């Protein structure tokens, strides 16, 4: 006779092709170590999920969906024959550490009727970021005959009346909530909302149904109405207020902060008075409250709640306090990332109230390899604040942080994301705009970029800081040789290098044209005026130095494209530099045959325009202003995007401008104009006057549409 299974595993599913096999594979160690049966109900799959289930299930049957989760799960229980029943969902998977689970099945559960297990709810599919925890009842002694209740969020309602054990080391992973608020979760949301609204119609005062509506209905138009009504019912002390109230107030506070609700501070005070012993308030809500008060610059309150949260994490990790509150809701901030985030917020609060030693101690105790890009940014901004507003030495802490942030934990991709965010956040402090803001601050002591000097030899920001602190071209050249990624080097460091006379590109480190173009474009975006840099770069002889010429070409092209040609102050200088560099580049790169006007179509548009500009300035130099204008206009035909530059040159080239008329000439023009006004236009005297030498001298003044004295025509 076949031995009765010690464990029946029950699963209901519909169209779970994404995750079903992962779930079933995770059960293999348990099924190999204990006598188990796997019973599965398909409630209407058409995506291939059933074919997967057929390879794993001991019992597989169809159960037509009747909008009732309890009915489906009870149908599974009815087909089970084990001593214990274990419920699992398709979007969950059992952790590989099953020693405690086996202990329970092999006699450890003898004196118990139910067991609840920690479930980890991930907020992203890669499971590397944040998560919350829940402790649902998942193991039941089948002989009790207890049934599931509830069309949605089904549960064993009578479980608290029996002997319950928490399996604290057994873990269920769950990523089914990741998609709930995206397009792929729309069908599930609509299904859930329909069932929950039906429950509320049947019992409007049900705090459990209100809580479930809040947890699942964040996108619903009446979400805030549900939150406010749930708060009202808790204050009214409706049935279950003491067990469900903490989770409800946690959601209310978090929504209040996110949506900037006027009731927020009132809810904070009520939660502190009624539920401060609950992890929903002292951990989940405390995280948001501390951040809220930081934003309000109420730093004493920020510290108060930050310390509450920090103590809560210490107690939670030690298994102290109301751990079983997770039976009534999911704690949302139990992951280490949230704890690191709270430490950063509290450190900011400490610093603001003058407790700098405690702030730095908190920051020094961070596990930097846990941070995500957002908290990496927050940490670094906190460090920058400390450096800017104090004389603290933070170099060693910053160096430790850099090593942890770029660590390949939990994998290489995650470490690279943090590293990239570190470079991006730190790089902003090197910009002219950032430094201009710093010097306007009354508390200004030192530029924030200086803190990155501690990373010299480890990070490109350390290299940039070392360059900015040096005036030695040879020393800077050695530093530039260590740059591995030019896209990450703050261009302010490169500008400084050029201004102090460092040859660039560095000898022995040739660079591609594309790299130089990118650097030049970044320099143009960063600096309002490139005149000084252009003088340094273009003042030398380019013969025999292709790298220098290519760098000069990149700079002038970027400058010409970005320059506001309505501003004439530096335009003529830029145009001359452009023509000079283009002439050198074209002669060096192309044959004389190509550089004939009839063959210029072989060149890129900007080089065609550059050729015409160079020729135009040659013509102007020998006094041929007519040829100068012709060549500029031909250049415009070859590159229409340079219209603003051509118009500028024609209107601002000194050789094309007529000197303003003398007072004597203006006086003569007025006399001639008065004489003309005395006759009819068709009078023969008018024709005779216009033929006179006097009229010819001042005709352009009289016939001009502009007032006398305002003329500056060509």
| Residue-level pLDDT at 700 | 65
Distance CA 488, CA 141 (A): 61
Query: Which three-class secondary structure string do you get for 473-517?
Result: HHHHHHHHCCCCCCCCCCHHHHHHHHHCCCCCCCCCCCCCHHHHH
Would the pLDDT of 712 be above 50? no
| Residue-level pLDDT at 445 | 85
The helix/strand/coil state of 62 is: strand
Concatenated DSSP letters of 110-173: TT-SEEEEEEEEESSTTS-S-EEEE--EEEEEGGG----B-SSS-B-TTGGGS-EEEEEEEEEE
| Residue-level pLDDT at 675 | 85
Please, are residues 211 and 153 in contact by the beta-carbon 8 Å criterion?
Answer: no
Span 49-63, average pLDDT: 97
Distance CA 135, CA 157 (A): 15
Concatenated DSSP letters of 293-315: HHHTT-HHHHHHHHHHHHHHHHH
| Residue-level pLDDT at 180 | 66
Span 599-628, average pLDDT: 93
The label of the residue with tokens 């108060």 reads: 304
The label of the residue with tokens 């800081």 reads: 465
| Residue-level pLDDT at 2 | 66
Would the pLDDT of 707 be above 50? no
Two tokens, residue 422 = 């570190």
pLDDT in tens, 83-127: 999 999 999 999 999 999 999 999 999 999 999 999 999 888 777
Would the pLDDT of 200 be above 60? yes
The helix/strand/coil state of 226 is: helix
Span 232-237, average pLDDT: 96
- Name the pLDDT band for 182 (thresholds 50, 70, 90): low
Higher per-residue confidence, 186 vs 433: 433
| Residue-level pLDDT at 703 | 67
Higher per-residue confidence, 461 vs 178: 461
pLDDT in tens, 554-587: 999 999 999 999 877 789 999 999 999 999 999 9
Residue 90, classified by CB atoms within 10 Å of its CB into exposed (0-12), middle (13-18) or buried (19+), is buried
Would the pLDDT of 714 be above 80? no
- Name the pLDDT band for 329 (thresholds 50, 70, 90): confident
Segment holding 195, helix H or strand E: helix 186-202
Q: Which of 269, 235, 268, 225 is nearest to 250 (CA)?
A: 268
Span 281-290, average pLDDT: 95
Higher per-residue confidence, 451 vs 662: 451
| Residue-level pLDDT at 705 | 35
Span 11-27, average pLDDT: 96
| Residue-level pLDDT at 507 | 85
Most confident by average pLDDT, 325-334, 640-649, 656-665: 640-649
pTM for this predicted structure: 0.80
Distance CA 105, CA 87 (A): 15
Would the pLDDT of 345 be above 90? yes
pLDDT in tens, 373-413: 999 999 999 999 999 999 899 999 999 999 999 999 888 99
Q: Which of 472, 547, 536, 553 is nearest to 499 (CA)?
A: 536
Span 619-624, average pLDDT: 92
CATH of 186-409, one of 2.60.40.420, 3.40.50.620, 1.25.40.10, 1.10.3720.10: 1.25.40.10
Please, are residues 305 and 286 in contact by the beta-carbon 8 Å criterion?
Answer: yes
Span 440-453, average pLDDT: 91
Distance CA 342, CA 338 (A): 6
Task: Provide the CATH topology of domain 7-178.
Answer: Spore Coat Polysaccharide Biosynthesis Protein SpsA; Chain A (3.90.550)
Please state which of the ranges 277-281, 432-436, 611-615 shows the lowest mean pLDDT: 432-436
Span 535-542, average pLDDT: 76
Distance CA 33, CA 11 (A): 20
| Residue-level pLDDT at 195 | 84
Would the pLDDT of 265 be above 70? yes
Would the pLDDT of 244 be above 80? yes
Query: In whole numbers, what is the pLDDT of the chain averaged over residues?
Result: 91
| Residue-level pLDDT at 302 | 97
Span 294-312, average pLDDT: 96
pLDDT in tens, 125-176: 777 667 889 999 999 999 999 999 988 888 898 998 999 999 989 999 999 8
């Amino acid at each position: 006779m076949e031995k009765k299974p010690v464990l029946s595993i029950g699963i209901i599913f519909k169209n779970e092709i994404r995750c079903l096999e992962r779930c079933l594979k995770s059960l293999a160690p348990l099924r190999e170590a204990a006598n188990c049966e796997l019973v599965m109900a398909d409630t209407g799959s058409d995506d291939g999920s059933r074919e997967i289930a057929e390879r794993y299930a001991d019992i597989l049957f169809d159960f037509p969906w009747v909008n009732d989760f309890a009915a489906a799960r009870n149908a599974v229980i009815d087909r089970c024959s084990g001593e214990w029943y274990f419920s699992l969902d398709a979007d969950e998977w059992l952790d590989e550490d099953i020693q405690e689970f086996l202990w329970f099945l092999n006699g450890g559960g003898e004196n118990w009727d139910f067991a609840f297990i920690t479930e980890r709810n991930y907020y992203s599919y890669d499971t590397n970021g944040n998560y919350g925890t829940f402790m649902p009842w998942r193991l039941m002694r089948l002989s009790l005959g207890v049934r599931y209740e509830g069309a949605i969020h089904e549960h064993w309602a009578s479980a608290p009346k029996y002997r319950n054990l928490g399996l604290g080391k057994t873990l269920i992973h769950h990523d089914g909530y990741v998609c709930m608020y995206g397009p792929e979760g729309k069908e599930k949301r609509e299904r859930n909302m329909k069932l929950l609204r039906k429950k509320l119609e049947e019992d409007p005062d049900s705090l459990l149904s209100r809580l479930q509506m809040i947890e699942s209905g964040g996108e619903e138009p009446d979400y805030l109405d549900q939150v406010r009504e749930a708060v009202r019912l808790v204050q009214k002390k409706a049935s279950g207020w003491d067990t469900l109230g903490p989770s409800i107030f946690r959601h209310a506070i978090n929504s209040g902060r996110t949506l900037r609700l006027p009731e927020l501070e009132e809810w904070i005070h009520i939660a502190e008075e009624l539920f401060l012993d609950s992890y929903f308030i002292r951990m989940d809500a405390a995280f948001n409250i501390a951040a809220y008060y930081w934003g309000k610059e109420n730093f004493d309150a920020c510290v108060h709640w930050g310390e509450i949260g920090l103590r809560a994490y210490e107690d939670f990790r030690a298994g102290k306090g109301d751990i079983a509150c997770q039976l009534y809701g999911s704690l949302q901030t139990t992951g280490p990332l949230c704890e690191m985030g709270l430490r950063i917020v509290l450190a900011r609060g400490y610093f603001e109230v003058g407790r700098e030693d405690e702030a730095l101690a908190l920051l020094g105790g961070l596990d930097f390899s846990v941070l995500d890009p957002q908290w990496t940014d927050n940490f670094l901004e906190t460090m920058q604040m400390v450096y800017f507003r104090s004389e603290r030495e933070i170099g060693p802490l910053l160096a430790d942080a850099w090593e942890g942030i770029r660590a390949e934990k939990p994998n290489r991709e995650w470490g690279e994301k943090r590293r990239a965010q570190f470079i991006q956040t730190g790089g902003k402090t090197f910009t002219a705009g950032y430094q201009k803001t710093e010097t306007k601050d009354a508390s200004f002591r030192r530029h924030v970029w200086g803190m990155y000097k501690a990373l010299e030899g480890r990070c490109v920001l350390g290299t940039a800081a070392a360059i900015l602190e040096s005036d030695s071209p040879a020393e800077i050249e050695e530093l530039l040789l260590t740059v591995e990624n030019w896209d990450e080097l703050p261009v302010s460091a490169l500008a400084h290098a050029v201004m102090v006379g460092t040859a660039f590109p560095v000898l022995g480190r040739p660079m591609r044209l594309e790299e130089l173009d990118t650097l030049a474009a970044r320099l143009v975006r960063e600096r309002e005026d490139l005149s000084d840099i252009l003088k340094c770069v273009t003042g030398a002889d380019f013969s025999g130095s292709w790298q220098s010429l290519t760098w000069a070409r990149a700079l002038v092209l970027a400058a010409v494209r970005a320059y506001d040609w309505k501003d004439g102050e530096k335009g003529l200088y830029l145009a001359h530099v452009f023509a000079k560099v283009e002439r050198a580049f074209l002669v060096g790169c192309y044959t004389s045959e190509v550089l004939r006007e009839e063959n210029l179509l072989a060149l890129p548009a900007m080089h065609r325009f550059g050729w015409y500009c160079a020729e135009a300035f040659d013509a102007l130099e020998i006094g041929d202003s007519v040829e100068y204008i012709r060549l500029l206009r031909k250049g415009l035909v070859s590159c229409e995007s340079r219209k603003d530059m051509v118009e500028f040159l024609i209107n601002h080239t000194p050789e094309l401008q007529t000197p303003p008329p003398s007072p004597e000439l203006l006086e003569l023009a007025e006399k001639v104009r008065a004489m003309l006004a005395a006759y009819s236009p068709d009078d023969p005297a008018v024709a005779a006057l216009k033929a006179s030498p006097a009229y010819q001298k001042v005709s352009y003044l009289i016939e001009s549409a502009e007032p006398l004295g305002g003329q500056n025509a060509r």
